[in-house]
Amino acid sequence: MKRNLTFFLLIVLLTGCATGPLKLTYKPGQIPESSKVSKPLIILLKPYVDSREDIDPHYIGDIKATVYDVYSDKLTIEKGVAAFVTDAVRAHLTAAGFTVKESGVGQVAHDYGDIMMSGEIRKFRFDIGGRDEIEIEIASQLRSGKTGRVIWDGVISEKDDRYAGVFGNSRKTIISYISKTLARAINKTIAEMKTNIEKAEGTIPSTLPIDEPSIPEGMGRIFVRTEPPRAKVYIGDIYYGLSPLTIDIEQGVYEFVIKLGGFKDNRERVAIQRGHKIDMELTLEKE
């Protein structure tokens, strides 16, 4: 009896006393160049939504093989899947060089960030058996913080399997495997983000002051943005370029003419003041 008790205590010491749901931790790891921010941008991050149908938000899979410090046939996590993924995305974006702000009630996107980011978790499953199988599928959407226009809407999936080895799984190995798999999915997401932000060709001007040079002495500044973009901008009869466009000009009252094929011309009289900046946002009307 004494020997059995000693053996039992030894097992407890070796395996630890951890019971209940896994407390997942997320480590972005080394960020590849394809996922690093190429220009300073502020991301307004909305919490991701768990869209898995009829599934407990804490459940992520079945256990059909020995996990020496998990005493259940169901794999669950302490924090819900949506909250865990949101925290992971936030940590990864920050590590990649973005400035991340939280989306709260009553906030307006363009007051807080260059880009509004949101999404949903469609699959998040890790089944432990003869071979461990993991599958993560996350849908994300980016919108311009100024116009609300969709910049990118895509789905990233990661699927993998492995043999845990003769010693099987533990809470530590499970947490590490989930973190690494999720990191691959988020890296792919950020790489897609970068590609589509670059395609937008400046339709997301950074709200960070380091991106914007000072206004030349004795002049004012106007930023012209149109929806759709790439409209021709004239002041009087002089062509200045395609929207979105920043123009530094002397103080005065000017007539701006905006032209785009298939849309009605738009004329606006604007007073420019020395040392001041004006944002002119126009939604063009189809002919």
Domain-ending residue, one of 149, 173, 199? 199
Most confident of 1-10, 97-106, 276-285: 276-285
Q: What is the pTM of this model?
A: 0.63
Give the model's pLDDT for residue 211: 45
Average pLDDT over residues 5-16: 42
Domain residues for the domain of 34 are 17-199
The whole-number average pLDDT for the span 139-166 is: 86
Q: Provide CB contacts within 8 A for 211, sequence distance 6+.
A: 39, 40, 205
Instruction: Give the residue carrying structure tokens 């849908």.
Output: 139
Does a structural domain hold residue 110?
yes
Q: How many domains does the chain have?
A: 2
Q: Which run of H or of E encompasses 269?
A: strand 266-272
Residue 6 counted as domain residue: no
Q: Are residues 185 and 46 in the same domain?
A: yes
pLDDT at 18: 54
Q: Could you tell me if residue 85 is inside a domain?
A: yes
Q: What is the mean pLDDT of residues 255-263?
A: 93
Cα gap 114→62, rounded to integer Å = 41
Average pLDDT estimate for 28-36: 84
Q: What pLDDT is attached to residue 168?
A: 80
Q: What percent of the chain has pLDDT over 70?
A: 84
Assess whether 180 and 269 both reside in one domain.
Answer: no
CATH number at residue 223: 2.60.40.10
Q: Which among 199, 221, 250 is the end of a domain?
A: 199
Q: Are residues 227 and 179 in the same domain?
A: no
Would you call 254 helix, strand, or coil by DSSP? Answer: strand
**Is 58 inside a domain boundary?**
yes
Residues 150 and 250 in one domain: no
Select from 140, 166, 199 the last residue of a domain: 199
Name the least confident of 22-31, 73-82, 170-179: 22-31
> Which CATH number do you get for residue 98?
3.40.50.10610
- Residues 56-73 have a mean pLDDT of 89
The phi and psi torsions of 161 (rounded to 5 degrees) equal -145, 160
> What average pLDDT does the structure give for the chain?
82
165 and 262 housed in the same domain: no
Residue 144 is predicted with a pLDDT of: 80
Q: Is residue 36 part of a domain?
A: yes
Task: Examine residue 77 and state whether it is found in any structural domain, yes or no.
Answer: yes
Same domain flag for 65 and 160: yes
pLDDT at 131 over 80: yes
CA geometry: angle 20, 24, 26, nearest 5 deg: 175
Judge if 22 and 148 occupy the same domain. Answer: yes
Of 24-38, 98-112, 176-190, least confident by mean pLDDT is: 98-112
- pLDDT score recorded for residue 113: 62
Assess if residue 9 is contained within a domain.
Answer: no
Question: Does pLDDT of 196 surpass 90?
Answer: no
Give residue 205's pLDDT: 46
User: Which has more pLDDT, 143 or 47?
Assistant: 47
